[in-house]
Chains A and B, each alone.
Chain A
């Protein structure tokens, strides 16, 4: 039987009068990389800390491996955690930091040395064993924190926004490293972030949280292409929202009837890259949906251009266009936006 590595059932948590987590159900498959994605205040860090054991849930249960750990203290849960500020012990060397968890598990001597050396090689810090944390750069400290957490071979690896303190380029490098290490080690990983791009890049599975609830979860491509709520559509990527009256055949927006794939809802979302900008006079064949609009602003970025437009009723719209033609449309010009029904996504508000 393929048991999931971590199981969260009906977990709820309130602080004071505020409900921080509400009826959370989540399963984390063995060996998977799952991101908990959401804005600040969404409860994602609280959920991670409940799984880790630093916070006790008001309701619900947490299972890690074969064990119900809801009442088990942190130190007995066999987790590996990487903190946002790395939390390296300043009075110990890199090697001692990494050996800490192994010591707690009774591993000594030659085997200890071997495992420390192996994991240092894995994060490419083989020469840094005797350094002190304050002698390391941010990126190096991050890798030591990671090594310290994975050397103990935990049942689940928990990461609390570990890359947020790094600059952009370093961050992207570390994302690649992290993914490689996770694949090599096969550890079940739960990763908290507010950066949707990061979540999409790294994860097998994404759970979007908003104000204490999981609003959607699934593989990155699935939730990107088919967001079910306005929040998910807007938080993960960009989206155009069209609202109107539900009629036979679609959604009545202004004078147009928008065709949708699936059940019609009063609000639909269309991703900006799925729309094509048709200048005045161009052929409108082949598009299920057409909408007139006026170009308000053109943001030229070389390979791609972002158009900010106003719809007929003033709705703000945006379109991402790859730079195939070379001459972007002018601000103020009237255009028609065309896209397919398949890319029109019904969303709840």
Chain B
């Protein structure tokens, strides 16, 4: 039975990683048309270095992702602390209100943003995409930080207060250091969410001001160049590393908080 189970999982993993592996492989293939036999080459990666369009798009993506990570983590952590600690009527409603950004199909949210931003003069472009990305990332940050907060014991802050800490000092001296792994994990998550975001960026982009996924999409629709392969592989690799970092941090955080 166990063998059967493991075999099935293997099949699933093959299914999941096959196309990705093929793409990565082809990124290193000299032929521009995927013709086999396979010839190792890094020319497509080198070509990237001179492809201004892709480079600009990549730079935009990275900038927005970093900004999203910072903003979403700040806002989301504050909200998570308030939602976790304070008791007030309507708290559950507020919690539910965090769901729309992730539960509603991004097509709907994206077109709504486009419509609203255009109408109110906020316009499209990098700043608009930032607004959208942060809104999408905040619920995830709140989720991750909330889980971390559950692991920090309440009486630690009380002990700090009994020794003379103001509530603010108690938070920064006791709670935050213990919460830090979760906060950093949340920041990584927000970074990944922003980096991989396509739909919202698509609707809020203007010609010339695009993020990497949007540019890749345009290139796919126009016709294929192998550089797309290369940049996609890089993007995939970066996402994976960030998520792996997040996973490691979430586990590492637990060890310090528990006695």
A interface residues with partner B (beta carbon < 8 Å)? 52, 54, 73-76, 78-81, 83, 85, 87-91, 100-101, 104-105, 133-134, 148-149, 152, 158
8 Å CB interface, B129-171 against A: 153, 155-156, 158-167, 169-170
Q: Is the CB of B259 within 8 A of A91?
A: no
Q: How far is the CA of A149 from the CA of B177 in the complex (A)?
A: 22
Q: Is B174 an interface residue (CB 8 A)?
A: yes
B residues near A91, Cβ cutoff 8 Å? 177-178, 256
Known contacts A75-B165, A100-B163; is A90 also within 8 Å of B158 by CB?
A: no
Q: Measured between alpha carbons, how far is A75 from B168 in the docked complex, in Å?
A: 11
Closest chain A CB from B33 CB (angstroms): 57
B257: Cβ under 8 A from any A Cβ: yes
- Whether A104 contacts B163 in the complex (CB less than 8 A), given A90-B256, A90-B257, A91-B178, comes out as yes
Bound CA–CA A133/B173 (angstroms): 17
Categorize the interface residue count of chain B.
20 to 34
Considering only residues 85-126 of chain B, those with a C-beta below 8 Å from chain A are none
- Residues from chain B with a CB closer than 8 A to the CB of A105 are 164
Checking A52, A75, A85, A152 against B166 with a beta-carbon cut-off of 8 angstroms, the contacting residue is A75
Give residues of chain B (195-210) contacting chain A, Cβ–Cβ below 8 Å. none
- Are B164 and A85 within 8 A (Cβ)? no
Docked complex Cα distance between A76 and B177 (Å) = 24
Instruction: Please give me the 8 A-B residue pairs with the lowest Cβ-Cβ distance, nearest first.
Output: A104-B164, A101-B163, A87-B159, A81-B162, A87-B155, A74-B161, A75-B161, A83-B155
Cα A94 to Cα B156 in complex, Å, equals: 15
> Could you tell me the distance between the alpha carbons of A101 and B167 in the complex, rounded to whole angstroms?
14
**Least Cβ–Cβ distance between A132 and chain B, in angstroms:** 10
Residue among A76, A100, A149 having the largest count of chain B Cβ atoms under 10 Å: A100
A65 to B170, CA, bound (A): 25
Option from A54, A80, A100 in Cβ contact (under 8 Å) with B158: A54
The B168-198 residues at the A interface (CB cut-off 8 A) are: 169-170, 173-174, 177-178
A87 — which chain B residues lie within 8 A by C-beta?
153, 155-156, 158-159
B165 touches A81 (CB 8 A): no
Known: A101-B164, A104-B165, A133-B259. A90 touches B178 (CB 8 A): yes
A76 to B142, CA, bound (A): 32
Q: Which residues of A contact B160 (CB under 8 A)?
A: 89, 100
Contact sample, A vs B, 7 pairs, CB 8 Å cutoff:
A54-B158, A80-B162, A89-B159, A91-B177, A104-B165, A104-B169, A105-B164
Contacts of B165 in A (CB 8 A): 75, 100, 104
Contact of B259 among A81, A90, A104 (CB under 8 A): A90
CA distance A79 to B159 in the complex (A): 11
Residue of A nearest to B160 (CB): A100
Q: Is there contact, CB below 8 Å, between B159 and A83?
A: yes
Q: A54–B162 Cα gap in the complex (Å)?
A: 9
The winner among B162, B166, B259 for most chain A CB atoms within 10 A is B162
Contacts A75-B167, A85-B153, A90-B257 supplied; 10 other A-B pairs, CB < 8 Å: A74-B158, A74-B161, A75-B163, A75-B164, A75-B165, A87-B155, A87-B159, A89-B174, A101-B164, A148-B159
**How far apart sit A148 and B159, CA to CA, in the bound complex (Å)?**
10
B165 to chain A, nearest CB (A): 6
A260 to B166: give the CA distance in the assembly, Å: 57
